[in-house]
Structure 1
């Protein structure tokens, strides 16, 4: 779960930085941005995500309910300080730093677009605002509940809070394709192109099937006539 959490955030982080670089340094970006470099960066994001998720695996344990024989995962921290340290570093590396970088990148992009009057409509600014707000709404509650878990007076609220915040995290993963791709100005055109290609392929397959059936029937007729 935490590998997925960190990797999702880091990929959004990378996308924001990449967009900022393209807008701020278009010539350099055109010459330096390659698929190979992008693949290396994405792999590094996954590796760092796995490393940051290691403490969660170390302090994870399994207990069995003898009445129902159901096994459950739970955290068994050797010290309260370890629990606090893990919650804090998750908050810093999994929210604070990426959120600040994402805000900074989109602020730079907005300023550049306004300065050069590159944006003819307000749609890009609305999309960037929605991206930032969705990121905050979906991720901040999770870390809030994690801090609540450190205080015993909130323990009764934590299970419900974890269910709600986990749902928000899942919702964020669901919304990202729409926010980062489907809102693009070429999305509708690409959709129509794909649909038209599928339609052409189906028609060609139908013609080939009919042609193959006709040739088979003709061959059978010729064979029977010859016999």
Structure 2
């Protein structure tokens, strides 16, 4: 089986079905060269996603975790950044596989790299549901929210969210396999049964997209109605929430659309499906770098704290440089962090 992207899961192309799907495999090879330009472009995009995603999400974890006061909303955002960071940490392995078509990292990393994408998908969408529901409850039941909305409870909900996300990611760990053909190792998904493949696809779509989407739409509708009758000093938190939600769904809609089409492979064009899944997988990966960009450009508090933190670090570095130079400067007091 030739797999340019780890996300493209052709159940009918696994070695178990190699004989009966010989014609489809031949067709796949015939248009492989025509997609080389797309593959090279997506490799470059994934490298950018990995670099910016690792740096940006590390920054969000640092600012929200150590420089800002711990609140319920920062608990949500830290967890979101950790999810994105973990995915970006595994993405370089996928980039190597995209370039070489050889998987030298072993079976364990084959399973973990594929699982990282779906763990990121579930955890992100569940966190967006939590953020939407949290904002909805704050506006609809302010007194109850003030008395019961605590960081400790938010942390407990986040732990449950991670457990649920891990359980839903199990199919990637179970069905991901490696095989060797002519000294070339391939990392692929072997469902062994079309009905099993379809069940996994539908579960991902329903649990990782449809149900969360309906909950978020409901919460957003309630928020819109309530906010019209209230005077809010700052709408920045709500703007961040809206942009995070929109970015997630715009990034994941193409992937889910093509995966659903791919589950009925015989009735659709193979080259269109593979190209669509490649682009959809890359868009899904891009969601991991969008969050920190949103915080920087929309979140005023985040920008101010980041600026003060960097200024303080520069001041400390300059003071240390002067001290090691043998001078006795007047020490500038670092700026107090929030």
TM-score, L = length of structure 2 = 0.55
Choose the corresponding residue for 1:135, options 248, 257, 263.
248
1:92 is matched with 206
Q: Which stretch of the first structure deviates more once superposed, 137-146 or 19-28?
A: 19-28
Partner of 2:134: 18
Q: 2:192 aligns with which of 78, 88, 99?
A: 78
**Residue pairs, 1:171-190, within 5 angstroms:** 171-179=286-294, 182-190=297-305
CA distance in 2, matches of 1:108, 1:202: 49
Instruction: State which drifts further: 17-26 or 46-55.
Output: 17-26
| Distance apart, 1:196 and its partner CA | 3.4
- Shift of the alpha carbon at 1:11? 1.9
**SS of 1:118's equivalent?**
coil
1:106 matched residue in structure 2: 220
| In 1, Cα distance between equivalents of 2:305 and 2:250 | 30
Corresponding residue number in structure 2 for 1:154: 269
Query: Using the alignment, how far apart are the partners of 1:165 and 1:186 within structure 2?
Result: 33
Structure 1 match to 2:257: 144
Give distance in 2, aligned partners of 1:196 and 1:94: 41
Q: Give ranges in structure 1 of 5+ residues lacking alignment.
A: 216-227
Which residue of the partner structure matches residue 178 of structure 2?
62
Q: Number of aligned pairs? A: 210
Structure 1 residues 120 and 32, CA, compared in 2 at 3 Å: closer, same or farther? closer
Distance 2:239 2:173 in 1: 39
1:163 is aligned to: 278
In 2, the alpha carbon distance for the partners of 1:167 and 1:125 equals 27
CA distance in 2, matches of 1:26, 1:205: 48
Question: Of 306, 312, 318, which aligns to 1:191?
Answer: 306
Q: Which residue of 1 aligns with 2:231?
A: 117
Higher RCO (C-alpha 8 Å, min separation 6): 2
Structure 1 vs Structure 2 CA RMSD = 2.6
2:122/2:165 contact within 8 Å kept: yes
Deviations 1:77-100 (A, max 9, x none): 232211111111110000011112
Write the distance in 1 (CA, Å) between the matches of 2:271 and 2:152. Answer: 49
User: Residue 169 of structure 2: SS of its match in structure 1?
Assistant: helix
Aligned to 2:299, the other structure's residue is in SS state coil
Q: 1:6 to 1:39 in 2, by over 3 A?
A: same
Question: How far apart, CA to CA, are the structure 2 residues paired with 1:2 and 1:77?
Answer: 16
- What residue ranges of structure 2 are gaps of 5+ in the alignment? 1-116, 329-338
